[in-house]
């Protein structure tokens, strides 16, 4: 059986990053989302290694064993893309295939957009590429979803981390279940006077793809870092919009694959955002829809995700 090993790598971005890795061969960089860490790619690390690739899953800036700076403005999209580029450079194995899920998807899409010379191909999971909007995103979220939208709740200082850090096992249990394909549809709206976890029900029984050992693993990985770093990604949404003006509606040119669950609330009611991706991801080879799958694609449906990723990778040559 392939072994997953761990080490720290000094990214040329200046961040000391913890990585989990397996296998030898062409580099596939796996970028996790919120609230996750390298562990969300546990099934892909071994599958990609067995297929002949060097799979590397870092804890991204602010997360788990990597940690990060305290200043909010150090979590902009340019810092996050810089970490990915710096890790590829430090590993000395570029150009790389860059895959990202949830928040990792915009980082992967952005890396392919800004540094196509270092990106052999890009794989997005759950979050489609969206071209830069004509106005800052916070105002748009407020108009479309109201002040209760969870991304607006996360803008508050200290309040979200106090809630999420209170009982981390409960946080992961609720969050991972709430937007999965096993849970009822979720509007992701914080009730007035409530918190993020108030719209995340606690399951009576965990779904088959999630175990108590998995939850314990996330709790262990977060024991030294907590949630402030991850939440700071959300606190840069308008700053990211300002910083990326030079790439407004710029195309993404490397070969691309997109994988998404048809019960993912990110795309619920927004199928057009997926169908129109080819307008800007100009070499989109395939979009794979996973019936009955929610937001945690590579954890909920590891077999199908592995097959889609490896098939796409083999087709690159």
pLDDT digits (tens, 9 = 90+) for 109-147: 999 999 999 999 999 999 999 999 999 999 999 999 999
Number of domains in the chain: 1
| pLDDT, tens only, 223-253 | 999 999 999 999 999 999 999 999 999 999 9
Specify whether the CB–CB gap between 112 and 284 falls below 8 A. Answer: no
Report how far apart, in Å, the C-alpha atoms of 197 and of each of 49, 191, 204, 234 are.
36, 10, 16, 17
| Range list of H helices, 179-262 | 212-221, 228-234, 237-243
Altogether, the residues listed in the chain come to a count of 317
The residue among 94, 109, 13, 8 whose CA lies nearest residue 58 is: 8
As a whole-number percent, the residues of the chain with pLDDT over 70 amount to 100
- Residues 83, 102, 214, 264: which is the catalytic one? 102
What pLDDT, on a 0 to 100 scale, did the predictor assign at position 143? 94
pLDDT at 268: 86
Closest of 302, 282, 301, 272 to residue 113, by C-alpha: 282
pLDDT at residue 317 tops 80: no
Question: What is the C-alpha to C-alpha distance for residues 98 and 122, in angstroms, rounded to an integer?
Answer: 5
Residues 163-197: pLDDT tens digits? Answer: 999 999 999 999 999 999 999 998 999 999 999 99
> Which listed residue (18, 54, 79, 295) is catalytic?
295
Q: Write out pLDDT tens, residues 258-293.
A: 999 999 999 987 888 899 999 999 999 999 999 999
Answer whether 36's CB lies under 8 Å from 102's CB.
Answer: yes
C-beta of residue 134 within 8 angstroms of C-beta of residue 244: no
Range(s) of the domain holding residue 61 = 5-315
Instruction: Establish whether 147 is a catalytic residue.
Output: no
Judged by DSSP in three states, 55 sits in strand
CB 265 within 8 A of CB 145: no
- Cα separation, 221 vs 301, whole angstroms: 22
Count, in order, helices (H) and strands (E) of the chain: 13, 8
| 16: β partners | 10
pLDDT digit string, tens, across residues 5-31: 999 999 999 999 999 999 999 999 999
C-alpha torsion angle, residues 231, 233, 239, 241 (rounded to 10): -130
The CATH number covering residue 180 comes to 3.40.50.1820
| DSSP annotation of 32 | -
The answer, yes or no, to whether residue 45 has pLDDT greater than 80, is yes
For residue 293, give Cα distances in angstroms to 229, 243, 290.
28, 34, 6
Q: pLDDT value at position 163?
A: 98
Contact of 7 with 36, CB cutoff 8 Å: no
DSSP single-letter state for residue 72: G
* Residue 248 among the catalytic residues: no
Share of the chain above pLDDT 90, in %: 96
Q: How far apart are CA 15 and CA 72, in angstroms?
A: 15
Q: pTM (2 decimals)?
A: 0.98
Average pLDDT of the chain is 97
CA atoms within 13 A on the CB side of 181: 19
């Amino acid at each position: 059986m392939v072994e997953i090993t761990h080490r720290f790598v000094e990214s040329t971005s200046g961040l000391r990053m913890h990585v989990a890795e397996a296998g030898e061969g062409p580099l596939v960089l796996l970028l996790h989302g919120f609230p996750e860490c390298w562990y969300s790619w546990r099934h892909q690390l071994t599958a990609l290694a067995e297929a002949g690739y060097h799979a590397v899953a870092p804890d991204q800036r602010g997360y788990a064993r990597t940690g990060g700076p305290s200043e909010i403005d150090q979590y902009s999209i340019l810092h996050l893309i810089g970490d990915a580029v710096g890790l590829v450079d430090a590993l000395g194995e570029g150009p790389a295939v860059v895959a990202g899920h949830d928040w990792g998807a915009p980082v992967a899409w952005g890396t392919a957009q800004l540094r196509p010379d270092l990106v052999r191909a890009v794989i997005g999971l759950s979050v489609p590429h969206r071209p830069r909007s004509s106005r800052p995103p916070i105002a748009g979220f407020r108009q479309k979803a109201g002040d209760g939208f969870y991304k607006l709740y996360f803008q508050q200082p200290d309040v979200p981390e106090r809630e999420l850090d209170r009982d981390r096992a409960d946080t992961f249990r609720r969050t991972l279940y709430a937007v999965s394909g096993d849970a009822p549809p979720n509007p992701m709206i914080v009730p007035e006077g409530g918190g993020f976890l108030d719209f995340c029900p606690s399951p009576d029984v965990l779904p088959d793809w999630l175990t108590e050992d998995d939850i314990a693993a996330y709790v262990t990985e977060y024991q030294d870092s907590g949630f402030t770093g991850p939440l700071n990604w959300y606190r840069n949404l308008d700053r990211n919009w300002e910083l990326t003006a030079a790439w407004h509606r710029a195309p993404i040119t490397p070969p691309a694959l997109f994988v998404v669950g048809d019960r993912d609330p990110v795309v619920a009611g927004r199928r057009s955002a997926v169908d129109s991706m080819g307008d800007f991801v100009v070499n989109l080879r395939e979009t794979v829809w996973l019936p009955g799958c929610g937001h945690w694609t590579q954890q909920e449906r590891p077999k199908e995700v592995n097959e889609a990723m490896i098939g796409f990778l083999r087709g690159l040559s």
